[in-house]
Amino acid sequence: MERNDLWNIIKFSMKGDLSSITFQTFVEPAKPLQLNNLQMTIEVPTKLHRDYWENNLAAKFTDYAFQATNEQITPVMITEEERQQLTKKSQATTGNVASGETTAATTPTFMRETKLNPKYTFESFVIGKGNQMAHAAALVVSEEPGTMYNPLFFYGGVGLGKTHLMHAIGNKLLETDPSRKVKYVTSEAFTNDLINAIQTGTQESFREEYRNVDLLLVDDIQFFANKEATQEEFFHTFNALYEDDKQIVLTSDRLPNEIPKLQDRLVSRFKWGLSVDITPPDLETRIAILRNKADLENIDIPDDTLSYIAGQIDSNVRELEGALARVQAYSQLNNSKITTSLVADALKSLNLSNKLSEVSIPVIQEKVAKYYHVTMAELKGKKRNKQIVTPRQIAMYLSRELTDSSLPRIGNEFGGKDHTTVIHAYDKIAAALKTDPDLQQAIGDLKSQLKA
Ligand SMILES: Nc1ncnc2c1ncn2[C@@H]1O[C@H](COP(=O)(O)OP(=O)(O)OP(=O)(O)O)[C@@H](O)[C@H]1O
């Protein structure tokens, strides 16, 4: 989630929770500066504000952030004056931005304790077609680290569960044997740690810290792109761990050979183990993920409403969870039960997805069904008689024209049809439209009804 989106959600929650004077005094003037490594740096006007935040608001912040993102995000408070001093200092040295890490630079950053998210476990991970193999490989690695798949490399788009699986491996390993040393870092944190070690002459401790672990988890290694010194150091870290049969797990948004300027020797090492991709969840898995999450959080929500959310958001799981958190907040605020119409309102007013301001596929289906006097079930069904096939094809055509849903998603909304069926329907109607005045009339009528 973007920094400002998250901040707005937290502010919104705090507003409902604090007295209006407290809110105006302490929350209103605070400014989120940066969201990085599970820390949000927040600027406040004075030391008094900072102290108040640290003593009274930080815990609330973390709770609300967790509700919205499922991640343990800590606020790092900084006064305006401190920020100005840091900016001056960093301009004079490396051009580093003011961040929580800079303010806390008294101990080397790499000595920070690894924080695994306790909620990211195998139990809370929903298995579907797109992540089945990744899940199985992760489980094997957590049971027998350093033996079968080393390194284990997950790749795939954002918010699809790569970090979740990584933490699950760490959590499971520690549960089985709490004496094991597990280190989780993002590739950016690895780079920052290295820079910090070089600046403070503590490379030896850096190496000790990274090379004496049983399990090293490095997230988002696509950010190693173009970073020569980091790659060099990581190469040696990798070799030391590998030779010692220690487990390495890596994630990236793409395959190693697609990461720009990643040294060949790293690319080839990353291929020694197992690379598994994670693909976006299908509708059923999205519904299962939402159901799982709703049950975990004790959110009372009917099945058809969950299906509605899952139908609206097909990009990634993070957005899906974000939508559920927004819906929950919206229902609490309005003091009403969660229903499909409340969800439609909640998602629209929070402007979660542009698609929602457009016509949706179910609405198109309803209008077409009514226009041609067929039922919704017939429209989504398999019957092949002309009185039903034509309206079905028209509805598919309009879904493609008027929404930006993908072909597979349109197919899904029509009772799980293949995307090639949607293409065929679209082409057929588009061709007929050139010559058939009745069809032109019908499509014109339907479009104007849908836009009304
Ligand atoms: N299959 C799943 N079951 C349950 N929760 C899931 C699943 N997949 C993803 N999630 C949840 O979705 C959110 C985003 O997942 P995660 O952070 O692991 O994504 P990612 O692939 O690492 O993305 P990024 O590349 O942006 O770091 C997390 O809260 C995670 O728990």
Cα angle 106, 108, 112 (rounded to 5 degrees) comes to 105
250: phi > 0 → left, psi -120 to 50 → alpha, else beta; which? Answer: beta
Exposed, middle or buried by CB within 10 Å (0-12, 13-18, 19+), for 384?
A: exposed
Give distance in angstroms: CA of 160 to centre of ligand 1.
Answer: 5
Determine the pLDDT at residue 109: 55
What are 339's two structure tokens?
Answer: 């229903």
Q: Using the predicted structure, report yes or no on whether residue 400 has a pLDDT greater than 50.
A: yes
Residue type, 100: G
Q: Using the predicted structure, report yes or no on whether residue 10 has a pLDDT greater than 50.
A: yes
What are 299's two structure tokens?
Answer: 């959110």
DSSP string over 414-451: TTS--HHHHHHHHHHHHHHHHH-HHHHHHHHHHHHHHH
Q: Is 25 annotated as a binding residue?
A: no
User: In degrees rounded to 5, what are phi and psi of residue 247?
Assistant: -85, 135
Q: Using the predicted structure, report yes or no on whether residue 452 has a pLDDT greater than 70.
A: no
| Residue nearest to ligand 1 atom 8, measured at CA | 161
Query: pLDDT higher for 109 or 295?
Result: 295
Q: Using the predicted structure, report yes or no on whether residue 404 has a pLDDT greater than 80.
A: no
d(CA 125, CA 168): 9
d(CA 73, CA 67): 10
Name the pLDDT band for 113 (thresholds 50, 70, 90): low
| Residue nearest to ligand 1 atom 4, measured at CA | 125
- Contact, 433 vs 443, CB < 8 A? yes
Q: Scanning the structure block, which residue is given the tokens 């159901």?
A: 291
Determine the pLDDT at residue 252: 94
Determine the pLDDT at residue 355: 41
The tens digit of pLDDT for each residue in 134-183 reads: 999 999 999 999 998 999 999 988 889 999 999 999 999 999 999 999 99
| Residue nearest to ligand 1 atom 9, measured at CA | 161
Determine the pLDDT at residue 305: 92
Q: Using the predicted structure, report yes or no on whether residue 101 has a pLDDT greater than 60.
A: no
Q: Any residues with Cβ below 6 Å from ligand 1, and which?
A: 70, 120, 124-126, 131, 158-164, 220, 253, 289, 317-318, 321
Taking alpha carbons only, the member of 275, 212, 211 closest to residue 249 is 275
The tens digit of pLDDT for each residue in 276-333 reads: 999 989 999 999 999 999 998 899 999 999 999 998 887 789 889 988 988 888 888 8
Q: Using the predicted structure, report yes or no on whether residue 275 has a pLDDT greater than 70.
A: yes
- Which atom in ligand 1 lies closest to the alpha carbon of residue 127? 1
Q: Using the predicted structure, report yes or no on whether residue 37 has a pLDDT greater than 90.
A: no
Mean pLDDT of 194-221: 92
The tens digit of pLDDT for each residue in 243-271 reads: 999 999 999 988 898 888 899 999 999 98
d(CA 418, CA 429): 17
**Percent of the chain predicted with pLDDT > 70:** 91
Q: Is 159 annotated as a binding residue?
A: yes
Mean pLDDT of 337-341: 91
Q: What are the start-end ranges of the E strands in 356-421?
A: none
Of 29-38, 57-66, 123-132, give the lowest mean pLDDT range: 29-38
Name the pLDDT band for 104 (thresholds 50, 70, 90): very low
Q: What is the mean pLDDT of the chain?
A: 87
The separation between the first and the last C-alpha atoms of the chain, rounded to the nearest angstrom, is 33
Taking alpha carbons only, the member of 366, 362, 323 closest to residue 345 is 323
| Residue nearest to ligand 1 atom 15, measured at CA | 161
Q: Using the predicted structure, report yes or no on whether residue 94 has a pLDDT greater than 80.
A: no
Q: What are the start-end ranges of the E strands in 190-310?
A: 215-219, 247-252, 274-278
Q: Is the pTM of this model over 0.90?
A: no
